[in-house]
A and B are shown apart, each in its own frame.
Chain A
Amino acid sequence: MSKEVGKEDLSSLAEIDRFVHEPARLAVMSLLYVVESADFTFVMNQTGLTWGNLSAHISKLEKAGYLEVEKTFRGKRPNTTLKLTSQGRRVFRDYANRMKQVFQDFDG
Chain B
Amino acid sequence: MRYKLYLYYFKSTLLVNLFISFLFSALVPLRPSYHPVPFFVSFSFFFITLGYGMTLLAFHYFGKRTRYLYFNRQISLVRLYGYGFIANIALVLLLHIILKMAWTK
The reply to whether chain A is a binding partner of chain B is no
Chain B interface residues (CB < 8 Å from chain A) = none
